Amino acid sequence: MLVRIPKGWEIRESRATPESVFRDRRRFLKLTAGGLAAAALGRALSAADAAPPAPSSGLPSAARNPRYTIDQPITPEKFSSRHNVFDEFSLERDQVWKLAERLRTRPWSIHIGGLVEKPITIDAEDLIRKMALEERLYRFRCVEAWAMAVPWTGFPFRKFIEFCQPMAKARYVRMVSFNDPAAPGWNAGRRVFPYYEGLSLAEASNELTLLATGIYGHPLPNQHGAPLRLIVPWKYGLKGIKSIVAFQFTRERPGTFWNELSPDHYSFESNVDPREEGQDTEELIDTGEKRKTVKFNGYGEYVAALYA
């Protein structure tokens, strides 16, 4: 069993931030060891209450794009699918998968609006069928200093922008998660939802930025943000908003969930940065191996110019 010691960021938060804001995140770290042990047992999914198949199911499997690969083993799915952050369902990392399981993701309306030539509402399935899907191996780094590497299926955000046709004056894109307290499994007592995120259009157009529809060669299970979630591998995981229902193109920089809760600790950009207090090392969720954090999570050659 993995034994975890308190992380630097945990100390930082308790020192500088009102207790009410961070009590939950601190509590999880104490529970993490148990969560990972449960994952290691590889508990079987109960099929009984399963929701209908995800919108991307039934599509031909996407070919792996060899340009995006990693220099470490892929994290086994039994770890990544049992240690999740999706606070709408549970603040306990090892409980999310079970609670999220019954969420219905079909049909799933996605609104595209704001500064676009023609605002539309489109079903996730119709949108996904319009896009050419590919698989990419990416590193993933949470601000809680855990890390993994997984194969995502999806389409480049850049292609999605072409589809949306934003007006020339648009500079940012704001994204919003589903918000349905009546949804099965919803258990969001302590936080105010929906979760919302944003990127500059320069960031969203970067070749790395992906809208994911699947993981490990199959549709996204709900705990990973079905039917559509954002993946920006050079940023902390909190930027990767799950189960998106709206995209709004804006001229002004939009607010983001964690930045507005605690601006001193979570910047709009939230790029992985080992110089930040408590972020110099990270721990792999499967092996417990500790290693040095790399600036931009190792993706500097793709993105450093965005921030120069």
Ligand X SMILES: Nc1nc2c(c(=O)[nH]1)N[C@H]1C(S)=C(S)[C@@H](COP(=O)(O)O)O[C@H]1N2
For the CB of residue 6, give the shortest distance to ligand X in the complex, in Å: 18
For the CB of residue 92, give the shortest distance to ligand X in the complex, in Å: 12
| Amino acid identity for residue 20 in this structure | S
Q: How far apart are CA 308 and CA 182, in angstroms?
A: 45
- Are β-strands 244-250 and 109-114 bridged in parallel, bridged antiparallel, or unpaired? parallel
For the CB of residue 184, give the shortest distance to ligand X in the complex, in Å: 16
Residues contacting 82, CB < 8 A, separation 6+: 35, 36, 38, 39, 43, 94, 97
For the CB of residue 243, give the shortest distance to ligand X in the complex, in Å: 6
Q: How far apart are CA 45 and CA 48, in angstroms?
A: 9
Query: Residue 166 binds which entry of ligand X, Mo ion, none, with Cβ cut-offs from 5 to 8 Å by kind?
Result: none
Per CB under 6 A, the list member of 68, 86, 247, 266 interacting with ligand X is 86
Closer residue to ligand X, CB minimum distance, 138 or 249:
138
Closer residue to ligand X, CB minimum distance, 9 or 68:
9
Site for ligand X in 170-189 (CB under 6 A): 177
Q: How far apart are CA 128 and CA 125, in angstroms?
A: 5
From residue 237 to residue 256, what is the string marking binding to Mo ion with x (rule CB under 5 A)? xx------------------
Do residues 279 and 294 make contact, with C-beta atoms less than 8 angstroms apart? no
Q: How far apart are CA 73 and CA 52, in angstroms?
A: 32
Q: How far apart are CA 105 and CA 103, in angstroms?
A: 6
Q: Does 238 bind ligand X (CB under 6 A)?
A: yes
Closer residue to Mo ion, CB minimum distance, 128 or 143:
143
Binding residues for Mo ion (CB under 5 A): 85, 142, 237-238
